[in-house]
Chains A and B, each alone.
Chain A
Amino acid sequence: MSIDILMPALSPTMEEGTIAKWLVKEGDTVSSGDVLAEIETDKATMELESINDGKVAKILVPEGTEGVKVNAVIARLVEEGESADAAETKPAPKAEAPAKAEAKPAVKAAAVPKAAPVLQDPEIPAGTEMVEMTVREALRDAMAEEMRRDDKVFLMGEEVGQYQGAYKVSQGLLDEFGDKRVIDTPITEHGFTGLGVGAAMAGLKPIVEFMTFNFAMQAIDHIINSAAKTRYMSGGMISVPIVFRGPNGFASRVAAQHSQCYASWYGHVPGLKVVAPYSAADAKGLLKSAIRDPNPVVFLEQELLYGRKFEVPKLDDYTVPIGKAKVVREGKDVTLISFSYTMLAVLDAAEALAAEGIDAEVIDLRTIRPLDAETLVASVKKTNRAVVVEQGWTAYGVTSEVSSVLMEQAFDWLDAPVLRLGGADVPMPYAASLEKVAVVQPEDVVKAAKTVCYKA
């Protein structure tokens, strides 16, 4: 009786990984607990232990293979004394066998952005070479470039240094900049956030990384009371040039305390700028702008976007201005407005709508505060209809703010009430079946778009 060794899921978001190294070879005898292989995930290199006693009959995926899907069979054990031929009795599934995609809501939408006709950014000079990179790499490059440019810039947070970042965003920075500028902190968000703000008041330019923005709740007093208000309270005497960054919003299968969007929380506060990019190019260009900004900037990343690849302009100093939304797809029938993670569902929906003859314009807000009302109003004046989508709760949310702005500034151009879509008005559930219905799906956007077009 042979035993299949499957590619394990080593994190909530892992869909595939690399077999970095096999520590056993065919014919070796292994016991439960022995390390079979080193697996590289999007976050770390981890050891795969055997849970059985037996003999390694077949190694089906050689070391160095990248993109091995979770649950693919990578090796086969047989019981001691059994012939290795026993392993041949079952056909080996291909290494790229699909993972349990249905457990990951909206994963299907992931493929869409590449297919969708995303507009060329007018701010990128024609003929600029584009390189493909992940959001994770783009963020790291932005920090590295700004740290090279200005020695007052430093990064602090939990596991940003020796561990190379809990989500590997700061990978390599410790090696390049040393532990004076890449600082591992204790797990004390309130304290190190206050410390960062104090350092900014005294003239440095800190980047404070939160492992996730859920933990920034411990530090929100310093973000709002100490960082956002000090310039005003001091009559302009003291500036707080600081970036608070880290993953925000929906994450996969981590339940209510680790899966929440804070865009509207911070968007509410004068004195803060709030940025939430979707693409790698925007992540890079906006983070560079945020680090240079003399104000406190809350920079909301998205764990589920970190590993996605986008085209990024190959320029020495690519920045994207804070406060500018981007029309990523032109259309004339309805405006779909979103940012960050739900751009996936919106772009997917735009494709589906196109197939049904509805030409949707898609706008990525990119910046939550200050809101680029001008771009939104201009679009609605053209389409006369809008659907606004966010990953967080719509109540008192970003979608509510955008709807109000459109009502106040584009009322006469609207042919239907603006519709809001967001996360279900519940704490995020753990169960996959419940989680899926708590998150906006492309079909929800399609339905809302048809409703405002009176074609539902």
Chain B
Amino acid sequence: MTTRKPATKARQRAARASAPPPYKAKPKELLEFYREMLLIRRFEERAGQMYGMGLIGGFCHLYIGQEAVITGVRAAMKDGDSLITAYRDHGHILAVGTSPNAVMAELTGRSGGVSKGKGGSMHMFDVKANFYGGHGIVGAQIPLGAGIAFAHKYKGDGGVSVTFFGEGAANQGQVYEAFNMAELWGLPVVFIIENNQYAMGTSAERASSETHFYKRGTSFRIPGYEVDGMDVLAVRAAAEDAIGFVRDGNGPIILEMKTYRYRGHSMSDPAKYRSRDEVQKMRADRDPIDHLGEMLVATGAASEDDLKAVDREIKDIVSDAADFAQDSPEPDAAELFTEVYA
């Protein structure tokens, strides 16, 4: 790769040492963030319910609690930017604007699903929206995301690859292989570590010698900082800063989003590794949706009635998705052997 990033000193000046102040959103934007987060929340609640009814099979990892992360990041992305994540991907694909019907139908394994029922919860894609999955092997999406960034740079299309992974995946060796090449070649990639504090049942402290994950790029000269991942405005501001830094040709950056998942790792996780009180306290004090709703009302950006109207709209969307996902036919047996090869 010929094009080099600016000299280290210039980059150090360009990169922030800590998170920028929260994003100053217009009232309309605030309501839109609320709407998007609520869609993910209600969608996931419904998916959990349908899993319990046996309508969804296999592994199903819910995003409840982490909604502010994808909502804030997505809002800072531009058309032409790309996104890739791991298996906890329902929130991400909804955020890029993919039809909730097609997402829910993928969960039920129906022909109307985004992957025609062949991928399921962990393998969702929407290439028209530059959403590259949906990957089930912990850590695999990180070199893939670097490769998408490589393609942006190769094509010179000005796009940025936003590559998500959890703090558990941050311990995989291939992460550091990707970090090394991303920095070496000045690839346009923002690495977003969603630190929800538990890698399945293992807390970050029990698995990681360095729990400040934003520092994980230090050996590769990749800057990074921590962001309050429960505050959509903090996320939005940080994402804009990071994407801008990368788009300006400075090479990669790492954002560590401190967040929390309310549900188990997957539907089959009894979550015995943490107390009910811990979860309740997080829900009560830090819930991103409640927090934003209160702010909307307190600042007069929206009334209680406005929020109720949004609730009703989301409820209808999710109900329709659930209906569609149950009515959409199962894939025909003839589909078994299609799409193995192009």
A202 touches B125 (CB 8 A): no
Docked complex Cα distance between A97 and B340 (Å): 55
B140 touches A226 (CB 8 A): yes
What A residues does B165 contact at CB under 8 A? none
Cβ of B2 within 8 Å of any chain A Cβ, yes or no, is yes
**Chain B 108-157 interface residues, beta-carbon cutoff 8 Å to A:** 113-119, 123, 125-127, 132-137, 140, 142-152, 154-155
B115 touches A235 (CB 8 A): yes
B133 touches A230 (CB 8 A): yes
A188 touches B147 (CB 8 A): no
B177 touches A192 (CB 8 A): yes
| Minimal beta-carbon separation of A379 from chain B (angstroms) | 26
Cβ of B342 within 8 Å of any chain A Cβ, yes or no, is yes
What A residues does B150 contact at CB under 8 A? 195, 198-199, 202, 204
Check A202/B152 contact, CB under 8 A, given A179-B1, A294-B342: yes
| Minimal beta-carbon separation of B71 from chain A (angstroms) | 24
Docked complex Cα distance between A280 and B291 (Å): 68
Partner of B155, one of A185, A197, A203, A234: A203
| Minimal beta-carbon separation of A174 from chain B (angstroms) | 12
A225 touches B140 (CB 8 A): yes
- Against A, the Cβ 8 Å flags (1 = close, 0 = not) of B162-186 are 0000000000011011101100100
Check A233/B146 contact, CB under 8 A, given A185-B181, A192-B181: no
A195 touches B140 (CB 8 A): no
Cβ of B82 within 8 Å of any chain A Cβ, yes or no, is yes
What A residues does B137 contact at CB under 8 A? 221, 225-226
- Against A, the Cβ 8 Å flags (1 = close, 0 = not) of B1-22 are 1100000000000000000000
Which residue on A lies nearest to B143, using beta carbons? A194
Q: Which of these binds chain B: A28-36, A120-128, A236-244, A403-411?
A: A236-244
B180 touches A188 (CB 8 A): yes
Interface size on A, residues (CB 8 A): 43
A295 touches B341 (CB 8 A): yes
Check A190/B174 contact, CB under 8 A, given A198-B143, A201-B132, A270-B340: yes
Docked complex Cα distance between A179 and B115 (Å): 37
Check A233/B115 contact, CB under 8 A, given A154-B154, A179-B2, A226-B135: yes
Residue of B116, B137, B147 contacting most chain A CB atoms (<10 Å): B147
Docked complex Cα distance between A198 and B144 (Å): 4
What A residues does B147 contact at CB under 8 A? 194-202
What A residues does B176 contact at CB under 8 A? 191
Residue of B143, B184, B339 contacting most chain A CB atoms (<10 Å): B143
Docked complex Cα distance between A191 and B144 (Å): 9
Cβ of A93 within 8 Å of any chain B Cβ, yes or no, is no
A237 touches B184 (CB 8 A): no
Partner of B117, one of A193, A198, A235, A273: A235
Residue of A190, A197, A273 contacting most chain B CB atoms (<10 Å): A190
Docked complex Cα distance between A188 and B181 (Å): 9
Docked complex Cα distance between A232 and B336 (Å): 10
Check A190/B143 contact, CB under 8 A, given A204-B154, A235-B116: yes
Which residue on B lies nearest to A241, using beta carbons? B342
**Chain A 225-274 interface residues, beta-carbon cutoff 8 Å to B:** 225-226, 230-239, 241, 270-271, 273
Cβ of B219 within 8 Å of any chain A Cβ, yes or no, is no
| Minimal beta-carbon separation of A336 from chain B (angstroms) | 30
Cβ of B209 within 8 Å of any chain A Cβ, yes or no, is no
Cβ of A222 within 8 Å of any chain B Cβ, yes or no, is yes
Interface size on B, residues (CB 8 A): 48
Docked complex Cα distance between A235 and B126 (Å): 11
Cβ of A81 within 8 Å of any chain B Cβ, yes or no, is no
Which residue on B lies nearest to A192, using beta carbons? B181
B116 touches A198 (CB 8 A): no
Which residue on B lies nearest to A178, using beta carbons? B2
What A residues does B123 contact at CB under 8 A? 233-234
Docked complex Cα distance between A154 and B174 (Å): 22
Docked complex Cα distance between A236 and B142 (Å): 22
Docked complex Cα distance between A171 and B134 (Å): 38
What A residues does B115 contact at CB under 8 A? 233-235, 237
Cβ of A186 within 8 Å of any chain B Cβ, yes or no, is yes
Cβ of B338 within 8 Å of any chain A Cβ, yes or no, is yes
| Minimal beta-carbon separation of A188 from chain B (angstroms) | 4
B154 touches A235 (CB 8 A): no
What B residues does A109 contact at CB under 8 A? none
What B residues does A235 contact at CB under 8 A? 113-119, 339
Cβ of A92 within 8 Å of any chain B Cβ, yes or no, is no
| Minimal beta-carbon separation of B231 from chain A (angstroms) | 30
B2 touches A226 (CB 8 A): no
Cβ of A183 within 8 Å of any chain B Cβ, yes or no, is yes
Which residue on A lies nearest to B335, using beta carbons? A235
Partner of A232, one of B1, B174, B339: B339
Q: Which 3 A-B pairs have the closest CB atoms?
A: A198-B147, A191-B177, A194-B143
Q: List 22 A-B contacts (CB under 8 A).
A: A154-B154, A179-B1, A186-B184, A190-B174, A194-B144, A194-B174, A194-B178, A195-B146, A199-B148, A202-B82, A202-B150, A222-B144, A233-B118, A234-B127, A235-B113, A235-B117, A236-B116, A236-B338, A237-B125, A239-B342, A271-B340, A271-B341
Given contacts A186-B177, A198-B149, A235-B119, 12 further A-B contacts (CB under 8 A): A191-B143, A191-B181, A192-B143, A192-B177, A194-B147, A194-B174, A195-B178, A199-B150, A203-B155, A204-B150, A235-B118, A238-B125
